[in-house]
């Protein structure tokens, strides 16, 4: 056999793969590319992806709901040399179980964006610390919640686990999500923003026209090409999205405390409870509404004037990158009178982000809820 024939024979041997060119593993995407694109941190850098492996019976997958103040985070997604939600959470789990874990979020919120409830999943194999190598039964969800929060509170105290549930090994927090709800807070009024509201809302000095903003929402809700409401860096394959809900509501600011008149009203209702109990329900309602209508803020030295608080709610299965903040930017412009409802229709039809108003800042955005059908997946 010649030298050339010998080399060809070696190359045909099964399993003779070069160590520099490993076999590729197919990427698994259970529901295609319709996963959450909203407010995602799309900075350049290594992104951790999950490969579907054979389930290990010794490993328990947990669904973790977390809340956090996004101000001091560079986003939810893991990044090198940056403080991120996933990074802090993985560190807390490492301290709890004594080994590294990988955490995957349903919604990869951007820097400065807060979460009332973001959802992640993590795989944990409980190994005995006294007898290394010995596998123990999985921790109860309540134990996981308490232990991880213990280590999180030793960090900055701006993130907390609010719920934990055991789920099957193939349950994916991102691809199993059915819809996501975002809230955006705007505080309207000429007074400077309170220290307690710093980085928690968008301060708009002008008065906002609630009715006009609500009319503009009706133009935007539904299934549309939202090219005018996607950032240039958006990596979604299609700009088509179904916006199931978009509305603006005026609410009482959570930092509002009872005034003297309101405290007097409360005392009046308690002291007069016996008398009002003898009246009909409609009479009681009339008395209460009459007293409420008489409540007027008393200008007192040292008492801050309250801002009007507006909350934009956006609900959909998935969003484009920066879609919510671009929508809020347009609604704010309608509220201040810089745009009309007809202008909103024109911006939507333009199908270019250049036609939209400046994007709302991240500080007012909150991921409110991620919905799952846990009953059918258990």
**CA distance linking residue 90 with residue 342, whole number of Å:** 48
Mean pLDDT for the stretch of residues 173-194:
94
Cβ neighbours, 10 Å, residue 334: 24
pLDDT computed for residue 228 by the predictor: 97
CATH fold, domain 179-254+306-371, is: Alpha-Beta Plaits (3.30.70)
* 295 vs 103: which has the higher pLDDT: 103
pLDDT computed for residue 299 by the predictor: 60
Percent of the chain with pLDDT over 90: 59
Of 67-71, 123-127, 190-194, 213-217, the poorest mean pLDDT is in 123-127
**CA distance linking residue 76 with residue 63, whole number of Å:** 16
Query: Which residue among 110, 163, 225, 272 is the active-site one?
Result: 110
Is residue 166 pLDDT above 80, yes or no?
yes
Is residue 78 pLDDT above 80, yes or no?
yes
Is residue 237 pLDDT above 80, yes or no?
yes
With cut-offs at 50, 70 and 90, classify the pLDDT of residue 36: very low
Q: Which of 214-223, 254-263, 280-289, 369-378 has the highest mean pLDDT?
A: 214-223
Secondary element (H or E) of residue 247 = strand 240-251
Is residue 225 pLDDT above 80, yes or no?
yes
Q: Render pLDDT for 114-128 as a digit per residue (tens, 0 to 9).
A: 999 999 999 998 888
Is residue 340 pLDDT above 90, yes or no?
yes
Spell out the domain ranges in the chain: 59-177, 179-254+306-371
pLDDT computed for residue 24 by the predictor: 40
Is residue 22 pLDDT above 70, yes or no?
no
With cut-offs at 50, 70 and 90, classify the pLDDT of residue 167: very high
> First and final CA of the chain: distance in angstroms?
62
Is residue 9 pLDDT above 70, yes or no?
no
Three-state secondary structure call for residue 154:
coil
Q: Render pLDDT for 262-276 as a digit per residue (tens, 0 to 9).
A: 778 777 666 666 555
Cα dihedral value 182, 332, 40, 90, nearest 10:
-60
Is residue 229 pLDDT above 50, yes or no?
yes
Is 209 one of the annotated active-site residues of the chain?
Answer: no
Tell me the CATH number for domain 59-177. 3.30.70.580
pLDDT computed for residue 130 by the predictor: 82
* 13 vs 268: which has the higher pLDDT: 268
pLDDT computed for residue 169 by the predictor: 87
Is residue 216 pLDDT above 50, yes or no?
yes
Comparing C-alpha atoms, which of 360, 357, 373, 365 is closest to residue 313?
365
Mean pLDDT for the stretch of residues 317-322:
95
Secondary element (H or E) of residue 120 = strand 114-125
Q: Which of 258-262, 304-308, 321-325 has the highest mean pLDDT?
A: 321-325
Average pLDDT, the chain: 82
**CA distance linking residue 229 with residue 239, whole number of Å:** 9
Cβ neighbours, 10 Å, residue 315: 19
Three-state secondary structure call for residue 337:
coil
Is residue 159 pLDDT above 80, yes or no?
yes
């Amino acid at each position: 056999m010649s030298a050339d024939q010998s080399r060809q024979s070696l190359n045909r041997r099964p399993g003779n793969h070069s160590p520099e060119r490993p076999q590729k593993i197919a990427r698994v995407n259970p529901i295609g590319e319709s996963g959450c694109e909203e407010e995602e941190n799309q900075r350049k850098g290594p992104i951790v992806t999950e490969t579907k492996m054979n389930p290990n019976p010794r490993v328990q997958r947990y669904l973790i709901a977390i809340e956090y103040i996004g101000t001091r985070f560079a986003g939810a997604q893991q990044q090198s040399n940056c403080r991120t939600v996933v990074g802090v959470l993985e560190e807390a789990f490492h301290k709890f179980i004594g080994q590294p874990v990988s955490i995957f979020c349903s919604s990869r919120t951007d820097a400065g964006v807060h979460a009332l409830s973001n959802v992640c999943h993590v795989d944990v194999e409980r190994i005995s610390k006294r007898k290394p190598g010995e596998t123990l039964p999985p921790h109860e969800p309540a134990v996981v919640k308490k232990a991880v929060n213990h280590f999180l509170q030793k960090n900055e105290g701006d993130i907390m686990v609010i719920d934990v549930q055991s789920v099957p090994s193939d349950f994916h927090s991102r691809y199993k999500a059915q819809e996501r709800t975002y809230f955006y807070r705007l505080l309207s009024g000429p007074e400077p923003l309170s220290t307690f509201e710093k980085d928690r809302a968008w301060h708009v000095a002008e008065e906002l026209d609630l009715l006009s903003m609500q009319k503009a929402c009706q133009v935007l809700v539904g299934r549309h090409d939202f090219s005018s409401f996607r950032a240039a860096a958006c990596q979604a394959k299609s700009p088509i999205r179904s916006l199931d809900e978009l509305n603006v509501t005026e609410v009482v600011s959570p930092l509002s405390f009872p005034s003297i008149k309101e405290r007097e009203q409360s005392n009046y209702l308690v002291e007069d409870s016996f008398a009002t109990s003898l009246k009909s329900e409609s009479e009681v309602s009339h008395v209460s509404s009459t007293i409420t209508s008489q409540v007027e803020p008393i200008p007192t030295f040292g008492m801050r004037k309250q801002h009007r608080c507006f909350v934009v709610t956006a609900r959909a299965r998935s969003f484009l990158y920066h879609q919510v903040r671009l929508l809020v930017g347009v609604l704010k412009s309608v509220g201040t009178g810089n745009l009309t409802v007809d202008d909103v229709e024109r911006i939507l039809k333009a199908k270019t982000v250049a036609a939209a108003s400046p994007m709302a800042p991240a500080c007012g955005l909150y991921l409110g809820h991620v919905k799952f059908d846990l009953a059918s997946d258990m």
